[in-house]
Amino acid sequence: MGRGGRKKLYLPYGRMKGGDVERKIVYEIGEQDAGGTVMQFLRGKRYSGQMIGALKWSGDGITCNGRPVKMKARLQVGDRLMVYAHERERSEDILQVELPFPVVYEDEDLVVVSKPAGMPVQPSWYYRDNSLANAAAFYYREQAEQFVYRCVTRLDKDTTGLVLLAKNPISSGILYDLMANREIKRTYYAIARREYERMLQTGEKGIIDLPIGKDMDAANVYKIDRENGKQAVTHYEVLAGTEDYAYVKLHLETGRTHQIRVHMEAMGYPLAGDETYHGSKPDTVTGLHRQALHAGMLEFSHPITGEWMRFEASLPKDMKDGLL
């Protein structure tokens, strides 16, 4: 048994029962796409050149009306273009550990999970058996499904809320492209301490546009760096405020490490419970033992269907209690 009585299964991920991961996607060609080439169609669906090359190399990865097809072939109305991904890859080094894995939504292409506090999204030397990856490995082993760990959106260890995982190489490539082009909308909720004279007013909205860079004098700490930092843009709205605290809704336009935490500290409102950025732990008023930050909403276009997806996760109990 692991810490806290958690069950550990040290069976390598690649030896699980169940077959290889397979995903077949059929596109019915309509008038809008007729006349274009197969390559143009797939690139329009956000398949990368690398993904198209891998599918072609597999032999039967891309077919039209049941037959192999060249990328320069012209599509006609009524054609059935099929993309077939047959994956043998495994996340073999990830230990399978029985941990919370609260699934908010799942289909053939993706899974949205509401991550608890204290859980890193990636395993590492220090977190070999208590990450979201360990929880995912156990979850899919219990269902006798193969699974490669592909984390599209990430959260700090002590930040709670929604995380998006891709379940196959096709959805992974498209979701990463959406992420790179800032087309996955992430909304956060935070409790921030007041440290400067000005008090954030309820209903106040604004944009924080300050570049962020690594603090070379401290491990895993970031700072406002106007000379060498990367652009970072955060939109905020104050939902409620007191003389000491503000309850804030935040939307990320960029996704720098610790972006919200650094930006709020720069405004004179470090997050409650955030010991790294001038807070205290536990927080003297809310009693929070972690930074008061929650990824409460996630919105994006489905990588295969194009349907607009919107998911919400309610505020965790410790933050609710901190607002009382």
State the catalytic residues.
Answer: 156
| Continuous segment of H or E residues that includes residue 108 | none
Please, what's the largest Cα pairwise distance for the chain?
70
- For 316, list phi and psi in degrees, rounded to 5: -70, 160
Secondary structure (3-state) at 265: helix
- Residue pair 247/239 in contact by the 8 Å Cβ criterion: yes
Q: Which residues, in sequence order, are CB contacts of 309 under 8 Å at separation 6+? A: 105, 298, 299, 300, 301, 302
Please, where are the H alpha helices in the chain?
A: 38-44, 49-57, 132-142, 169-180, 259-266, 317-323
Query: Which residues sit opposite 222 in a β-bridge?
Result: 214
Count of all residues that appear for the chain in the document = 324
Helix (H, G, I), strand (E, B) or coil at 19: coil
Residue type for position 8: K
